[in-house]
Amino acid sequence: MTTITLDSAALGRFEGDVLTQEDPGYDDARKLFNAMIDRRPRVIIRAANTHDVIAAVALARETGLPFAIKGGGHGVNGHAACDDGIMLDLSPLKRIAVDPAARTVIAEAGVNWGEFDAATTAHGLATTGGRVTTTGIAGLTLGTGSGWLERVHGYTADNLISADVVTADGRLVHASEDENPDLFWGLRGGGGNFGVVVNFEYRLHEVPPLLLGGMLLWPFDRAGEVLRRYREFMEDAPDEVSGAAALLTAPPAPFVPPELQGQHVVGVIAIAVAAPEDGEELFRPLREFGPPAVDIVGPMPYTAVQQLLDPGNPPGLYNYWKAELVPELGDELIDLSIEHAERMGRSHSVMLFQPLGGEIGRISDDSNAITARHAAWTAHCIGEWETPAESEAELAWVKAWGPLIEPFKIAGAPLTFRADTGDEHVRRAFGEEKHARLVALKDKYDPENLFRLNQNIKPSAARS
Ligand SMILES: Cc1cc2nc3c(=O)[nH]c(=O)nc-3n(C[C@H](O)[C@H](O)[C@H](O)COP(=O)(O)OP(=O)(O)OC[C@H]3O[C@@H](n4cnc5c(N)ncnc54)[C@H](O)[C@@H]3O)c2cc1C
């Protein structure tokens, strides 16, 4: 067996920091959002510029070592780090250039949604983005990108105008509707399969200076009624109404009455992409569900809406997630979900029903790799807990949701929301037709599967 050495000549070509196990900072640099992941790369390259990305792709090709790409490090399956391979950390790449007149922005691959929103909202503009500020724009956009603005403006990837990509053969190529349109099609939903994206150009939209946002909570014994009423409310809601219904454990926060803290509750996250006075009118039916135990819905800037879920999702917790698309939220699914939630740990874990529709469904299914635009809801079962002692019970709880959701789900669902990986799983997520088109694209851009540490679309050569 040949031993691959990464000597100083191999590593001296980078302008950014290069860290091996002996270097201070190595342990911090290999850490990801999900504490379940504990991988030790042979080398971590912290890219300083596009040249470093091209050099890292060349090094991966020359050595054949596993090659992991990290944007914001939020992928729950932990593909952004690898054992005994090369980890390319893009997080130092932070440049953001907003063009307010054209309503566009170009952001580098290490930017997260907190940084992105701060830059664009300075001009009263935004695009559909992740609901937790520390999530990276890179993995989220490539994997579809779901956010509070999606019923008005489509998914994040629907707002992508172009991207600069380093392909497996080391070329820097531009992908847009006009240049390399096949690659551009696959980048929007197909994940990190086709190259390393160094920057993303997005379409921006005006957001009101203040929106209405927040959360309503009721005791758990009202869950059946609240979920049914929320379903009816969303059936007639205009695109500006966004949010989700949630089964969760009430946090020990000052706004929660002491008797509910640490108890299972049912909640509605309510966001209106509208001026607060219009939002009040839109939310009137929600408040008619009966007096909530907690009502912290109020006017706030878009950046505060984007931070609403941050306190419940700090880095360093243990995570295992599943998600599926469902065409409807029927009574049987509601009742089974409530039974499942009764067995949920008193942790950060949560079950979410997140309404889709609006602009998502109006965009042509052919326009990019995103599947199942007609789905009405994303159902999430999110395990998130604080200590290894809870891991066995939490993992078993999320796994048991798989058979529960099976009869209700349709093909599709962003791969970004799932911890599970594997060819069968990826194929089902895209459906046969789109999967075949993605395999052909993989054959063209990465026939040797250099980019395989991801929700992998295997090229034909790796299938025989
Ligand atoms: C707390 C939390 C909240 C979330 N909220 C949302 C949400 O609201 N909406 C939503 O849609 N998703 C959400 N997600 C899921 C999120 O979109 C995915 O985890 C996504 O992969 C995160 O991107 P990242 O860059 O932070 O992750 P990373 O782990 O860095 O990257 C994930 C994968 O993407 C690929 N990748 C990353 N950067 C590049 C690049 N520049 N070029 C090529 N490939 C690349 C790699 O394969 C990598 O393994 C959330 C996740 C967490 C943990």
Per residue in 97-124, pLDDT tens? 999 999 999 999 999 999 999 999 999 9
Task: Judge whether 206 and 456 are in contact, CB under 8 Å.
Answer: no
Average pLDDT over residues 283-292: 88
Cα(414) to centroid(ligand 1), Å: 11
Question: What is the number of structural domains in the chain?
Answer: 3
Which residue shows structure tokens 């309404």?
A: 355
Residues in Cβ contact with 172 at an 8 Å cutoff, skipping those fewer than 6 apart: 50, 54, 164, 165, 166, 198
Please check the confidence at residue 4 and state whether its pLDDT lies above 70. no
Q: pLDDT per residue over 343-358, tens digit each?
A: 999 999 999 999 999 9
Q: Taking the CA atoms of 16, 94, 321 and 442 in sequence, report the sign of the dihedral they define.
A: negative
The answer to whether the CB of 76 is under 6 A from ligand 1 is: yes
Atom 31 of ligand 1: nearest residue by CA position: 139
Residues 308 and 370 in one domain: yes
Q: Indicate the SS3 state at residue 282.
A: helix
Same domain, 68 and 150: no
For residue 320, give its domain range. 211-417
For the stretch 410-464, pLDDT in tens is 988 678 888 888 898 899 889 899 999 999 999 999 999 999 999 999 999 998 7
Q: What is the pTM of this model?
A: 0.97
State the pLDDT confidence band at 11, using cuts at 50, 70 and 90. confident
Domain match, 215 and 185 both: no
Q: How far is the CA of 213 from the centre of ligand 1 (A)?
A: 24
CATH code of residue 355: 3.40.462.20
Query: Do 39 and 85 sit in the same domain of this protein?
Result: yes
Task: Return the structure tokens found at 255.
Answer: 């706004």
Region 193-199: mean pLDDT is 98
Kindly report the three-state secondary structure assignment for every residue of 169-182. CCCEEEEECCCCHH
Residue 286 · residue 271 · CB < 8 Å? no
User: In this structure, are 56 and 145 located in the same domain?
Assistant: no
**Nearest-angstrom CA–CA distance, 234 and 325:** 16
* Per-residue CA distances from 365 to 76, 78, 147 (Å): 27, 29, 19
7-11, 177-181, 296-300, 329-333: least confident range:
7-11
Residue 293 has pLDDT above 60, yes or no: yes
Question: Measured in angstroms, how far is the CA atom of residue 4 from the centroid of ligand 1?
Answer: 30
- CA gap 147, 130 in Å, rounded: 5
Burial class (CB within 10 angstroms; exposed 0-12, middle 13-18, buried 19+) of 12: exposed
Which pLDDT score, from 0 to 100, does residue 1 have? 40
Q: Ligand 1, closest atom to CA 70?
A: 30
Mean pLDDT of 203-218: 96
Query: CA-to-CA distance for 91 and 182, rounded, in angstroms?
Result: 27
Shortest-distance Cα residue to atom 13 of ligand 1:
130
pLDDT at position 2, please? 45
Instruction: Please provide the DSSP assignment of 121-157 as one string.
Output: HTTTEE-S--SSTTSBHHHHHHT----TTHHHH--TG
19 belongs to a structural domain:
yes
Q: What CATH number does the domain containing 81 carry?
A: 3.30.43.10
pLDDT at 145: 97
Name residue, tokens 């209700």.
408
Residue 315 confidence (pLDDT): 96
The residue to mutate among 44, 141, 142, having the most atoms of ligand 1 within 8 angstroms of its beta carbon, is 142
Q: Which of 44, 416, 426, 445 to mutate to test the pocket of ligand 1 (most atoms within 8 A of CB)?
A: 416
- In the reported structure, the alpha carbon of residue 284 is separated from the centroid of ligand 1 by a whole-number distance in angstroms of 35
Write the CB contacts of 342 (distance below 8 Å, at least 6 apart in sequence): 220, 264
| CA of 260 relative to ligand 1 center, distance in Å | 33
| CATH number of the domain within which 144 lies | 3.30.465.10
Q: 416: CA distance to ligand 1 center in Å?
A: 6
d(CA 256, CA 237): 28
On the CB side of 122, how many CA atoms lie within 13 Å of its CA? 11
- Ligand 1 atom showing the smallest separation from residue 80 Cα: 49
Tell me, using a 6 A CB cutoff, whether residue 145 lines ligand 1. Answer: yes
Cβ of 186 less than 6 Å from ligand 1: no
CB distance 135 to ligand 1 below 6 Å: yes
Distance of CA 77 to the CA centre of its chain: 12
Q: Do 390 and 261 share a structural domain?
A: yes
Q: Is the CB of 70 under 6 A from ligand 1?
A: yes
| 245 and 267 belong to one structural domain | yes
What is the pLDDT at residue 402? 95
Atom of ligand 1 nearest to the CA of 313: 1
pLDDT band at 277 (very low <50, low <70, confident <90, very high): very high
How many angstroms separate the alpha carbon of residue 71 from the centre of ligand 1? 7
Same domain, 156 and 35: no
Q: What digits encode the pLDDT tens for the residues 47-76?
A: 999 999 999 999 999 999 999 999 999 999
CA 138 / ligand 1 centre spacing (Å)? 6
Structure-derived torsion over alpha carbons of residues 292, 293, 294, 299, reported in degrees to the nearest 10: 30
Percent of the chain with pLDDT over 70: 99
Q: Phi, psi (5° rounding) for residue 43? A: -150, 145
The separation between the first and the last C-alpha atoms of the chain, rounded to the nearest angstrom, is 24
- Average pLDDT of the chain? 95
pLDDT for 3 beyond 60? no
**pLDDT tens digits for 212-260?**
999 999 999 999 999 999 999 999 999 999 999 999 999 999 999 999 9
Q: Give the pLDDT of residue 71.
A: 98
Residues 225, 336 share a domain: yes
Domain final residue pick, 46, 74, 89: 89
Neighbours of 9 (CB within 10 A): 8
416 touches ligand 1 (CB under 6 Å): yes
